[in-house]
Amino acid sequence: MRERDQQKWKPVLPDKRLRLSRDRAPILLEGRMILSPNRSHFDGFAAARTSTLATLRGRIERIEAHGDAYLSDRVALGHVDVDAALQGGLAIGAMHEVFAEGRQSAAATGFIVGLAGRTGLAGRAAARRPLVWVRQDFTEIESGALSMSGLAELGLDPRLLVTVRAADVDTALQTAADALACDALGVVVLEVWGEARQLDLVASRKLTLAAQASGVTGLLLRVAAEPQPSTAETRWIVRAAHSPPATLWSAWGAPMFDAQLVRNRHGPVGRWIMEWKCDECLFSKPAAYPQPVAAAPAHRPHQAPARARGSVFKRSGHRFA
């Protein structure tokens, strides 16, 4: 190519302004501006980029809309109404969030133990897989340490529990993500106290993808925190409920939870009173207790005659039946 032609196709403009015809476009190559005979390569690049973005958006929409394809396994919790709302039970290989106030941390921990007992021990084909519980180190100061005897009372085998104490939220997140990637585990519990800006939508998506890839169920326990946007399958707000009257051979009643399902990706939400059966390791509806709290006197039947109930006596300004 002659020197005159080279100067024609590779002009250097000091004022960085270039006048082009409609059928030409500028290209920056090796720090110099040259002219392209047409815009076809630009149009092809833009079309390829648009096609790639459309493909990625379509994949994301299919994952979000039909996420149940990754969640084919579900385990029934035992509570009929809850299982119906969850389309058969709690999804395996997904993330589930449990929120509670600071004073309700014990109730939320018990609820998490129940979910872990159902999903980790009864819900997988290979049962009795280890449970990894990741906690911040100062959580024990706020809510106390996990009691192995308490876990055994709730029906969870303490020998399957592996506890990890993380120094901060970042370490806890990374530990939980690594544990979720291990398909030899049954359940991974991540417990974080208070507000944590690290637990954003990106972190939630990372945990969800790890759970879906390995099939390990993730349970996120948030105490004294406000719910934030996430990719969790379900979100619960748990409070303690009144236990029914205890039997003669029991010192206290069965664990009762006031569980409110505020997020359900594949079904309705609702609020139920759920009783945890420690021996059967499942939730159920609380039974009705029509019998009186106080036993009837031995010298007269429980259903006293109406005439006797109507007779009263006055003594010192009080009335006695």
Identify the pLDDT of residue 232: 96
How far apart (Å, rounded) are the C-alpha atoms in residues 98 and 109?
A: 9
* Residue 30 Rama label (left phi>0; alpha psi -120 to 50; beta): left
pLDDT given for residue 120 in this prediction: 67
**Contact predicate 268/234, CB 8 Å:** no
Degrees to nearest 5, angle at CA 165 with 121 and 278: 30
Cβ neighbors of 90 (< 8 A, separation 6 or more) are: 74, 75, 77, 96, 115, 118, 119, 123, 217, 234
Copy the structure tokens of residue 104: 């309700």
Within 10 angstroms of residue 5's Cβ, the number of other Cβ atoms is: 9
298 pLDDT tier (thresholds 50, 70, 90): low
Locate tokens 């205890």: which residue?
A: 246
- pLDDT given at position 66: 47
Nearest to 234 by CA among 255, 219, 212: 219
Residue 109: pLDDT over 80? yes
Which residues, in sequence order, are bridge partners of residue 236? 98, 261
Pairwise CA distance, residues 287 & 271, whole Å: 17
For 241, phi then psi, to 5°, come to -115, 165
Strands 313-315 and 282-284, sheet pairing: unpaired
Q: What is the pLDDT of residue 191?
A: 95
End-to-end CA distance of the chain: 121
Does residue 88 carry a pLDDT above 70?
A: yes
Q: Where are the alpha helices (DSSP H) in 133-280?
A: 139-143, 148-153, 169-180, 201-214
Cα–Cα distance for residue pair 271/276, rounded to 1 Å: 16
C-alpha to C-alpha distance for 232 and 229, rounded to whole angstroms: 9
How is residue 8 written in tokens? 């024609």
CB atoms < 10 A from the CB of 278, how many?
15
* Average pLDDT for 239-264: 82
Helix axes 201-214, 169-180, angle to 10 degrees: 20
8 A C-beta contact, residue 83 and residue 118: no
Q: pLDDT tens for residues 64-86?
A: 544 444 445 899 999 999 999 99
What domains sit in the chain, N to C, each tagged with a CATH number? 3-65 (no CATH), 72-284 (3.40.50.300)
Confidence band (pLDDT; 50, 70, 90) for 230? very high
Q: Specify the pLDDT at position 62.
A: 54
> For position 218, what pLDDT does the model report?
96
What is the rounded CA–CA span in Å between residue 42 and residue 36?
Answer: 10
C-alpha–C-alpha distance, residues 102 and 170, integer Å: 21
Look-up: residue for tokens 């299982």? 83
Give me the pLDDT at residue 247, please.
Answer: 62
Nearest one of 33, 35, 34 to 23, comparing CA atoms: 35
**Mapping DSSP to helix (H, G, I), strand (E, B) and coil, where does residue 302 land?**
coil
Whether the pLDDT of residue 214 is over 50: the answer is yes
CB 144 within 8 A of CB 154: no
**Residues 175 and 206 sit within 8 Å (Cβ to Cβ):** no
Residue bearing the bigger pLDDT, 298 or 220: 220
Q: Phi then psi for 278, rounded to 5 degrees?
A: -65, -40
